[in-house]
Structure 1
Amino acid sequence: MKTEILPALKKPRYREVLTIPMIVLAAYIVLALAAPVIAPQNPYDPLQIYGWEASSSPGTPGTGGYLYLLGTDGLGRDILSTIIYGLRISLVVSVTSAAIAALIGLTAGVSAAWFGSWVDIAIMRLVDLQLSLPTILVALVAIVTLGPGIDRIILALIIAQWATYARLARSVALSETNKSYMDAARLMRLPTPRIIFRHLLPNSIAPAVTLIPIEIGHAVALEATLSFLGLGVPIDKPSLGSAVAAGFQYLLTGQYWTSLFPGLALFGLIASINLVGEEVRRRLDPRSRPL
């Protein structure tokens, strides 16, 4: 009797806890989409930035007739506005890079499983080589080679992430190639591109879907790390990572708010994405469901 009651008692609590990161993530997305309407200041517009108000503490009245609730940074930008606009860049960079990396990795992994022979060997040796290195190291080498910029950091994150999807897709596709519907496709002598993109690839996507939310959170952390090191989004662009980097030099002077508040926003974004991604994986992966 206990084994039947305990799961029933624990399950609602688990769902209630999961609603918190879902609400937080939804709030982040709304703030990012509505940044021009919600943000008190446009950090991109030099006409709205006043240099004499640089490094103002939280709660300082501003020239524009509103309070700097979270203070201003060393350039005179409102920290709250920088966070709201920074969410847009962080989410666009992470979602775009994760989606394209998933597409490239899935195609490479499925192609390796289907063609086998030297194609499989070449792709998987490249995957093994990349996965043997820390992801941040791969991203650093890529961004140093490509140079700074939003488009280039997206490309660097794609290079750093595609191999994870490729390995997963290959393992799933290998099991799919031995199923009856694949034998039927071969007997019908369908063109190879049609077999791969109409039959094999769609049936190999499901495990990758559970990986994408986790990789989005990973991409947010990578972008923030690269921007903090001065190799990602330029410091005059308000991404969360560059906002933390811009305020870091002022910490020793007691201006904690310049890095603290963007850092807390970054932590909340990564944590909410990871928790929601874990819930997506738990729901879609039958092996993680409780018996």
Structure 2
Amino acid sequence: MKALILRALNRRPPLPALTLSGIILATFVLMALIAPVVAPQNPYDPLQIYGWEASSPPGTRGSGGYLYLLGTDGLGRDIVSCILYGLRISLMVSVTSAAIAALIGLTAGVSAAYFGRWVDIVIMRLVDLQLSLPTILIALIAIVTLGPGIDRIILALIIAQWAGYARLARSVALSETNKSYMDAALLMRLPTSRIILRHLLPNSIAPAVTLIPIEIGHAIALEATLSFLGLGVPIDKPSLGSTVANGFQYLLTGQYWISLFPGLALFGLIASINLVGEHLRRRLDPRSRPI
């Protein structure tokens, strides 16, 4: 009886956690999309920034008519505006890098499974080499080599993330190559590109769908770490990571708000993405479902 009760409880989906995380994530995405409309200030426009109001505490009424609800940073930019515009950059960088890394990793993994032999050996040795190193170290080496800039950060994150997709895609594609539709495609002498792109790759994508949300959250954290180390988004681009980094030097002077509020937004964004991604993995992965 006890086992039946526990089994019934395990079958109930975590609706409160899923609903809350989904609402939080949707709110972050919506705020990023409408940031130019709802932001009190454009942190990119020097005409709207008053340097003499730098490091103003939360609740200060500025000379330009702004109410600095969360205060200003060391450059005089409104923290609320920096968070709203920072969401745009953080989401754009993470989503773009995760999508391109998934495409490259899936193609490499499927190619390794299909061709085998030396192609499989070369690709998987590169994957094993990269996965043996910390992701942040790969990203640091890439960004130091490529130089600063948002486009280079995206490229560095792609380099740091593609290997995970490749290993996952290869393991799935190996099982797909033994199925009857693959034998039929080979008997029909279809072109190799068509077999990979029209048959093998689409049937190997499903597991990667559960990995993409997690990697998006990982990319946001990596971008924030690079910005905190001074190697990420430039100081004049208010990503969440760079905003937190800009306020770190003011913590000892008691100006906590410059880093605290963007840090809370960064934590909420990553947590909501991970929770939604975990629920998606449980729904799509049969092995994670309760018996």
Q: What TM-score, normalized to structure 2?
A: 0.98
Identical amino acids, percent of aligned pairs: 85
Q: Report the Cα distance in structure 2 between the residues aligned to 1:9 and 1:174, rounded to whole angstroms.
A: 36
Question: What's the counterpart of residue 234 of structure 1?
Answer: 234
Q: Report the Cα distance in structure 1 between the residues aligned to 2:284 and 2:56, rounded to whole angstroms.
A: 48
How far did 1:64 drift? 2.6
Question: What's the counterpart of residue 121 of structure 1?
Answer: 121
How far did 1:8 drift? 4.4
* Corresponding letter in the other structure for 1:172: V
Q: Report the Cα distance in structure 1 between the residues aligned to 2:87 and 2:211, rounded to whole angstroms.
A: 22
Unaligned runs of 5+ in 2: none
Q: Report the Cα distance in structure 2 between the residues aligned to 1:55 and 1:13, rounded to whole angstroms.
A: 45
Q: Please state if 1:262 is matched with 2:262.
A: yes
Structure 1 residue ranges (4+ consecutive) displaced by more than 6 angstroms after TM superposition: none
Question: What's the counterpart of residue 166 of structure 2?
Answer: 166
Q: Report the Cα distance in structure 1 between the residues aligned to 2:44 and 2:66, rounded to whole angstroms.
A: 18
Q: What TM-score, normalized to structure 1?
A: 0.98
Structure 1 range deviating more: 20-29 or 60-69: 60-69
SS at match of 2:14: helix
How far did 1:6 drift? 4.4
Question: What's the counterpart of residue 276 of structure 2?
Answer: 276
Question: What's the counterpart of residue 88 of structure 2?
Answer: 88
Q: Report the Cα distance in structure 1 between the residues aligned to 2:17 and 2:118, rounded to whole angstroms.
A: 49
Unaligned runs of 5+ in 1: none
Q: Report the Cα distance in structure 2 between the residues aligned to 1:256 and 1:192, rounded to whole angstroms.
A: 58
Q: Report the Cα distance in structure 1 between the residues aligned to 2:90 and 2:52, rounded to whole angstroms.
A: 28
Q: Report the Cα distance in structure 1 between the residues aligned to 2:286 and 2:199, rounded to whole angstroms.
A: 22
Residues 12-68 of structure 1, C-alpha deviations (whole Å, 9 max, x = no match): 572112111110000000000000011100000001100111000000011232310
Q: Please state if 1:202 is matched with 2:212.
A: no
How far did 1:185 drift? 0.5
Question: What's the counterpart of residue 49 of structure 2?
Answer: 49
* Corresponding letter in the other structure for 1:100: I
Q: Report the Cα distance in structure 2 between the residues aligned to 1:200 and 1:226, rounded to whole angstroms.
A: 36
Question: What's the counterpart of residue 15 of structure 1?
Answer: 15
* Corresponding letter in the other structure for 1:40: P
Question: What's the counterpart of residue 31 of structure 1?
Answer: 31
Q: Please show how residues 73-84 of structure 1 align to structure 2 within 5 Å.
A: 73-84=73-84
RMSD: 1.2
SS at match of 1:174: helix
Contact 2:11 2:290 in 1 (8 A): no
